[in-house]
Amino acid sequence: MALDWQASQGRALRGDVRVPGDKSISHRAVMLAAIADGTSRISGFLEGEDTRATAAILQRLGVRIEAPSAGERIVHGVGLRGLRGSDDALDCGNAGTGMRLLCGLLAGQGFDSVLVGDASLSRRPMARVIDPLARMGASIEAVEGGFPPLRIHAKNKLQAIDFRSPVASAQVKSAVLLAGLYAEGTTRVRETQPTRDYTESMLAAFGWPIRHVPGEASLEGGHRLHATDIVVPGDFSSAAFLLVAASIVPGSDLLLRGVGINPRRTGLLAALRAMGADIREESPRRLGGEPAADLRVRSARLSGITLPAMLAPDMIDEFPALFVAAAFAEGATVVSGAAELRVKESDRIAGMSAGLRAMGVRVDETPDGATIHGLGADGRLRAAEVDSLGDHRLAMAFAVAAQCADGEVRIADCANVATSFPGFTRLANEIGMGLRDG
Ligand code: S3P
C-alpha cells in the first residue's frame, strides 16, 4: 500500500522517549527460543513487520508463540530437531536478516522449505549465504544470479567448515553459525572486519558452547539450546535518526532511554562526535546482557569529516542518517569503504544522493561512498519531492532532513518504515518534528 509523507520544519526537538526494540536482537531471540528446549520469554521484542514475519514463519514451522502484550513473546521451544516443514512458502517480507539467518537455520533440517520476500528482498544477493552453506552440504536453489525465492532441500546432516567471509556481514556469519548447530565438527567463521556479535552472545545465553572474539567465532554441532529470558534493548539504528534530528535542529534537547550501545553498532556515535555533536551516555547499564544507556543529545554545530573506512561495519545501517548530518555540517564529509550500501533495502548511496540533491545539497557519488558538501548549521534545504525507494531508512532520513527545509518535502513510498520503526510518525510529532501522512 502506497504511503507518502509530507515533512516540514517543526519546533526544537524535546522529549524523554524510548525507541522500539532492537531488530537484530529480536530476530535472533525468537529464532533461538524456537529451537531451544523449554519456554523463553522475550520482552522489548520489536513489533515491526520484519521481526513479526520471522515469528510468523516459526509458527508455521510448528512453534507455539504467544503475544500476551505488545513487545512480549512467550516462545514454546520445540528443541533443535523439533521444527516441522510447511507446504506453504515462508514469507520473510522485507527482511534480509530474516531470510539469511533462516537460510542457515533451515539448511540442515529434514524437510524442504521455500523462502520468499517482497520486491526489494527479491533483488538482494543471497549467494553470499548459499555458497558457504553449500560447502557445508546444504542444497539451496535460487533464481539465476542468486536471488530469492530460495528452495532449501532437506538435509539431515551438514559438515562443519572453516569459513573466511569475503564480506563484512553479520548476516552471513550468523547463517553459517546457525547451520553449524546442525553440522558435524567445528564450524569456524573469520571476518575481514568484525561485525555485530549478537548471534554469538545469544547462543552463549541459550547455553551453547561457543568461542568468540571480535572477528572470529567457532562452535561445534551436537549440543542443545536451553530456554532463557531475553530483554531486548532499544534499537540504536532507530535512535540514530533522532540523534541526527536533535543535532541539526537548533535548540533541541532530547533524551532517548534504554538504547543498545554494543560497540559493533555505534560507529555513528563516533562519527557524529568527531563532527562536533553533543551526545552523552547517561546511566550506562546492561539490558539483556547487552550494554545500554540513555542517550542525551543537544543541538550542535557540526563540521565535515573524512570518515575512516574501518568505521563502516559499525555503522552500516546509519549512513542515511549520517548523510543528513553531513548536509548540515560546515565543509565536506567524505564517505568511502561502504559499497555494501548499494545492496541494502535499496541502493542507499544512489537513493540518498538523489534525495539530498533534490533538496539542494551537492553530493558527489563514488562506487563505495560519496562526498557530501555540507551547507553548514544555518543551511536550509529547499522544498522538493524525494523518493524513499521503499527503503525505511531513506524515508526516515529525509523526514529528518526536512526539519531544516524551507517548505514542504514530499517523501514517496514510506510504508516500509513499519518494518523497523513502528510508530515513527507519532513519536516524531511528539518530540516536535513536522511530519504527517499525505
Ligand atoms: C544485520 C546485519 C547487517 C545490517 C542489517 C542487520 C543483522 O547486514 O545491515 O540491518 O541483524 O545481522 P549485513 O550483515 O548484511 O551487513
Q: How far apart are CA 64 and CA 74, in angstroms?
A: 8
CATH architecture of 23-220: Alpha-beta prism (3.65)
Q: How far apart are CA 187 and CA 190, in angstroms?
A: 10
As annotated, the residues of the chain forming the CATH 3.65.10.10 domain(s) are 5-21+233-437, 23-220
Q: How far apart are CA 66 and CA 206, in angstroms?
A: 19
Mutate to test the pocket of ligand 1, among 316, 343, 344, 391 (most ligand atoms within 8 A of CB): 316
What pLDDT sits at residue 383? 98
What pLDDT sits at residue 2? 87
Nearest CA to ligand 1 atom 15: 169
- Beta strand pairing status for 113-116 and 139-143? unpaired
Neighbouring residues of 263: CB distance < 8 A, sequence distance ≥ 6? 291, 314
Start-to-end CA span in the chain (Å): 13
pLDDT tens digits for 12-66? Answer: 999 999 999 999 999 999 999 999 999 999 999 999 999 999 999 999 999 999 9
What pLDDT sits at residue 423? 98
* Nearest atom within ligand 1 for CA of residue 23: 11
Low-confidence ranges of the chain (pLDDT < 50): none
Residue-level length of the chain: 438
Phi, psi of 285 (to 5 degrees): -160, 180
Query: Is the CB of 171 within 6 Å of ligand 1?
Result: yes
Q: CA angle, corner 91, sides to 120 and 203, nearest 5?
A: 100
pLDDT tens digits for 317-344? Answer: 999 999 999 999 999 999 999 999 999 9
Query: Is the CB of 196 within 6 Å of ligand 1?
Result: yes
All three cell numbers of 376, joined, read 553548514
Neighbouring residues of 213: CB distance < 8 A, sequence distance ≥ 6? none
Mutate to test the pocket of ligand 1, among 22, 23, 24, 54 (most ligand atoms within 8 A of CB): 24
- Count of Cβ atoms closer than 10 Å to residue 70 Cβ: 9
Instruction: Please state which CATH number belongs to domain 5-21+233-437.
Output: 3.65.10.10
How far away, in angstroms, is 97 Cα from ligand 1 center?
6
Catalytic residues: 317
What pLDDT sits at residue 382? 98
Query: Is the CB of 199 within 6 Å of ligand 1?
Result: no
Query: Is the CB of 97 within 6 Å of ligand 1?
Result: yes
Beta bridge partners, 90, equal 115
What pLDDT sits at residue 18? 98
What pLDDT sits at residue 304? 98
How far away, in angstroms, is 344 Cα from ligand 1 center?
9
Neighbouring residues of 145: CB distance < 8 A, sequence distance ≥ 6? none
- Beta strand pairing status for 147-153 and 14-18? unpaired
How far away, in angstroms, is 170 Cα from ligand 1 center?
6
How far away, in angstroms, is 96 Cα from ligand 1 center?
8
Buried b (16+ CB within 10 A) or exposed e, 17-26: ebbbbbbbbb
Q: How far apart are CA 281 and CA 239, in angstroms?
A: 13
Query: Is the CB of 317 within 6 Å of ligand 1?
Result: yes
